Structure 1
Amino acid sequence: MKSVQKRFPKAFRFFSVVSIASLTFFPSGVSAESYSILNPTPDAEMREMSSDRPDITESPISVPAGRWQVELSWLDYSIDDEGGVETEGLQALQTNLKVGLDTRTDLQFVFSAYTTEDVRDSAGPDSFADGFGDVQIRLKYNLWGNDGGDHALGVIPYIKIPVGGALSNDEVEGGVIMPFMLDLGNGWGMGAQAEVDVVYDDTENDHDVEVLHSIVFGRDLIGDLSFYLEYVGVGGAETDYRALASYGLTYLWDPETQFDVGFRTGMNDAAEDFGTFFGVTRRF
C-alpha cells in the first residue's frame, strides 16, 4: 500500500502546514508549571463547558488541559430525494472524543460507530450499505477568549483517515475550520464559522476545494433550557451550493452534562431535505 503522503499529498500537507502554523504563530504562553495532559486542570479551576454540538458551527473554546469530553449523537437520521433517487441515512453513536493537551489546545477523534445508507432509485437498482465510518483527527487551538471576555476565536485543522468500510471513499481528506463566538448579552449569543475543506470528487478522481460558512444565534429560554437557529452554506467550484437551516434545543443537566435535540432543513434542491438527531455532551 502506498503511504498516505504519497497517495494524498494535498490533504496531508494542508493539515500539517496549518497545524504547525497554528502552534508557531500563536504561542500559548504556557509555562512548565501550567496544566497539561499529565497535570490535569483541577475541578475548582475548570472553565464553563463548551460543546461543538449540536449545531454545525464549532466552538472556539478548548477542553481544559488533562480533561476528557465526549460529544455524541445517539441517533442521527437524514433523508434526501433528488432526481428520483431517495437516499436515507442513519448514524448511531456519532462521536467526538476530546482530550485537553494544554490550556489552549485539545485533540479530537471524530467517528460514527455505525452508519447505514439506503438508496432507492426509481430508474435503477436500489442499494444498501452499512458499517463503521471514517475517522477524523482534529486539533483545536484557541487563539483568544478561552478564559474570559465576550468573544473568542479558534482554529481547527483536521484530517480524515479512511478505514476501508463499505461507506468509505478510501481517500484522505482534510481542511481547516475557524470558529468565532460572541456574547451579545441578555441571554443571547452568536457564533460564526469559515471552513475550507479538501474533499475527494469521485467523478473527477481528484481532490477539490469546498468552502463552508455559517452563522448561529442562541438564546436562553427557561432556566438551563436554550434554543439555537443556524444558517449553513457549502459550495465549491465543482459542486452546487447547498444551503440549510439547523435549529434545536439544549438542556444543561449539570455543569458537566448537556443534552440536545435538533433538526436540519434543506433550503435549496442541492441540500439534504431533512435531518434530525438527539445527543449528549459529557465532560470528565
Structure 2
Amino acid sequence: MNNAYHYCTAVLLLLWASSVCNGQEKKDDQFSIFNPVPKELMRDMETDRPDVTESPITVDAGHFQLETDLVKWVKEQSEEKQAHTLLINQMNLKIGITENTAIQLGYQTYGIEKKKEIGSGIKEMSQGHGDLTFRIKQNLIGNDKGNFALAILPYLKFPISKYEDDSRLEAGIIVPMSYKLPGDWKLGFQLELDRLKDQDQQAMHTEFLQTITLSHSIIKNIDGIAETYYTYDFKAHQFSNFINAAIQIEVVKDFKLDAGLNYGLQHTADKHYFLGASYRL
C-alpha cells in the first residue's frame, strides 16, 4: 500500500506541473466536458489499441470513446504453473474532460481462467468479471499540431476480479510518445514503470517496460502495425521480450476493428491473441 501511495503522490505532482505548463501555453482553453468540441473541429480518431504502445493524443473534450478486446486469449507459463485465460469485452471507456485531459475506466467484463500445476498436475478453473482500472491521460505536447506528441498516463488497478482470486492493487505510470514520419509513417515509443503482483504468489514487484512501434497504411482504411517491447522485473532480475503485429480497419468514420497478437519470445513470457474494436461518440 505504501508503494501505491508513493505512486499516487508522484502522479499528482506530475499532473499539477503539466496543467501549469498547459495553462501557460494555451490560455483560451474554452472546451470542456460541459462545452464539447464541435464535430467539425474534432481531431482524427486516435486509439490506444491494438498495440501495447499507447497514443499520446487525448479524446476531444466532451466526447466519449470505447475501446475493447472483444475476445482475447492469453497463455501464461511459469516454473510452477500454466494458465490459459479467455477474456470477453475487456473494455476501456475514455472521456474527454478538457482539451488536453481525459479519464479512462477499464473493466474486464468476463473472464475464464484455467490453471494447471506443473508438478502435481492439479487443475483449477475460475470465471467471472475482472478488475477495474482508472487512468488519467494528460497530453503535454502535440495534441493539436506538430509532428511530435507526448503524454503522461498514470493508472490504478483495483482488485475486484472474480475469475482471478489472487489479484492485488496495482499501479503505474506510462509515458507514451509518437512521431509523424515522411510518407505517412508513424513511429511510437513508450516508457512505463509498474508495481505489479508476482505471478505465483501474493508478493509484489516493480517492472519497467519500453516499446517501439511502427505503423503505416497497407491499403485505404487498413493500417498495419509492427511493434517490439521488453519488460524488466527488478525483483527477479529478468527480461521478457515480445514481438507484436496487428491490423486496424476503419469500417466507417469513428468505428474501427482490429486483430493481432503479442507474442512473448521467452518460454515464460505471455502470449496474447485478440480481436478488438474502437468507437467514438
TM-score by length of 2: 0.91
Q: Does 1:20 align with 2:18?
A: no
The 10-residue stretch of structure 1 (189-198 or 234-243) with the greater mean CA deviation from structure 2: 234-243
1:147 maps to 2:144: yes
Identity, in percent, stands at: 27
Q: Which residue of structure 2 aligns with residue 127 of structure 1?
A: 124
CA RMSD of aligned residues (A): 2.0
Q: Distance in 1 between matches of 2:140 and 2:155?
A: 17
Which residue in 1 is equivalent to 2:266? 268
Q: Once structures 1 and 2 are overlaid, which stretch shifts more, 119-128 or 213-222?
A: 119-128
Deviation (angstroms), 1:98: 0.7
Q: In structure 1, what residue type is equivalent to 2:263?
A: T
Deviation of 1:202 after TM superposition, in Å, equals 7.2
For residues 145-184 of structure 1, the C-alpha deviation after alignment (integer angstroms, 9 at most, x for no partner) is 1101111000001111111524143522111000000111
Give the equivalent residue in structure 2 for 1:4.
none
Is 2:43 the counterpart of 1:50?
no
Contact 2:248 2:257 in 1 (8 A): yes
Q: CA–CA distance in 2 between the matches of 1:133 and 1:41? A: 33
Tell me: CA distance 1:89–1:23, structure 2 relative to 1, closer, same or farther (3 Å): same
Distance 1:49 1:121, change over 3 A: same
* Structure 1 position 178 matched with structure 2 position 197: no
Quick check: 2:65–2:95 contact (8 Å CA) kept in 1?
yes
The Cα offsets for residues 217-275 of structure 1, whole Å up to 9 and x where unpaired, read as 11111111110111121112213321111101011123311110111222112312x32
Name the SS for the 1:186 alignment partner.
Answer: helix
Structure 1 match to 2:252:
254
Counterpart of 1:113 in structure 2 is 109
Q: Which residue of 2 aligns with 1:67?
A: 63
Partner of 1:188: 185
Q: Is the 8 A contact 2:166 2:202 kept in 1?
A: no
| TM-aligned CA distance change 1:100 to 1:199, over 3 Å | same
Give the distance between the partners of 2:65 and 2:174, measured in 1 at CA: 19
Distance in 2, Cα, partners of 1:270 & 1:24: 39
Count of residue pairs brought into register by the alignment: 276
After TM superposition, give the deviation of residue 190 of structure 1 in Å: 0.7
In structure 2, what is the Cα distance between the partners aligned to 1:92 and 1:166?
A: 12
Q: Distance in 2 between matches of 1:232 and 1:168?
A: 29
Q: Report the alpha carbon displacement of residue 69 of structure 1 after superposing the two structures with TM.
A: 0.4
CA contact (8 A) 1:213 1:233 kept: yes
How far apart are the structure 2 equivalents of 1:206 and 1:263? 29
- Give the 5 Å matches for 1:162-177: 162-163=159-160, 165-177=162-174
Moved more, 33-42 or 14-23: 14-23
The one-letter code of the counterpart of 1:248 is A
**Compared CA separation, residues 254 and 23, structure 1 to 2 (3 A):** farther
C-alpha distance in 1, partners of 2:199/2:263? 26
CA offset digits 1:23-82 (Å, max 9, x no partner): 334432265760101111110110011000000000000000010000001100122455
Tell me if the contact between 1:210 and 1:235 (Cα under 8 Å) persists in the aligned partners: yes
Find the aligned partners of 1:170 and 1:179 in 2 and give their Cα distance. 26
> Partners of 1:164 and 1:73 in 2: how far apart?
17
Alignment of 1:232-251 (within 5 A): 232-239=229-236, 240-251=238-249
- Contact 1:12 / 1:159 at 8 angstroms: preserved in 2? no
Aligned to 1:160: 157
Taking the aligned partners of 2:168 and 2:182, their CA distance within structure 1 comes to 44
Point out where structure 1 has 5 or more consecutive residues left out of the alignment.
1-7
AA partner of residue 41 (structure 2): E
Matched with 1:87 is: 83
Normalised TM-score (structure 1): 0.91
CA contact (8 A) 1:91 1:112 kept: yes
SS at match of 1:244: strand
Contact 1:212 1:234 in 2 (8 A): yes
Mapped contact 1:257–1:280 kept (Cα < 8 A): yes
Structure 2 residues not aligned, in runs of 5+: none
Name 1:136's counterpart in structure 2. 133
Residue pair 1:88, 1:119 contacting (<8 A) in 2 also = yes
Q: Describe the shift of the 1:212–1:80 C-alpha distance in structure 2 as closer, same or farther (beyond 3 A).
A: same
